[in-house]
Amino acid sequence: GGPGVDKYKIEEIAKERQIPLYAFVIYESIVEAITPMREAIAKAADTVVEKVKSVLLEKVPAGSTAIVAGIGNTVGIG
């Protein structure tokens, strides 16, 4: 198992069932990940939250289900 295998399985099932996947990434260095959040990263997080909302409104039909998952160092975002 492990994260790589899990990611692969998720992507394969999504492909087989024609489930679209969207990803938004805010890159942090290792130093940024273990120190207080910089203002630029906080602003980027706000921008990504708005983009996620936009994609949900544009791509997810009314009455459908969407999964929004924060992966990695996402404590306090959103």
Tens-place pLDDT, residues 10-67: 889 999 999 999 988 888 888 887 888 889 888 888 899 999 999 999 999 999 999 9
- pTM for the whole structure: 0.68
Q: Is residue 16 part of a domain?
A: no
Specify whether the CB–CB gap between 21 and 36 falls below 8 A.
Answer: no
Q: Is residue 9 part of a domain?
A: no
Separation CA 34–CA 36 (nearest Å): 7
| Greatest pairwise CA separation for the chain in angstroms | 42
What is the residue range of 30's domain? 22-72
Instruction: Return the pLDDT at 56.
Output: 95
The structural domain count of the chain equals: 1
Separation CA 2–CA 26 (nearest Å): 23
- For residue 26, with 0-12 CB atoms within 10 Å meaning exposed, 13-18 middle and 19 or more buried, which class applies? middle
Tens-place pLDDT, residues 20-34: 999 888 888 888 878
Q: Is residue 32 part of a domain?
A: yes
Q: Is residue 17 part of a domain?
A: no
Separation CA 21–CA 56 (nearest Å): 12
Q: Is residue 68 part of a domain?
A: yes
Q: Is residue 34 part of a domain?
A: yes
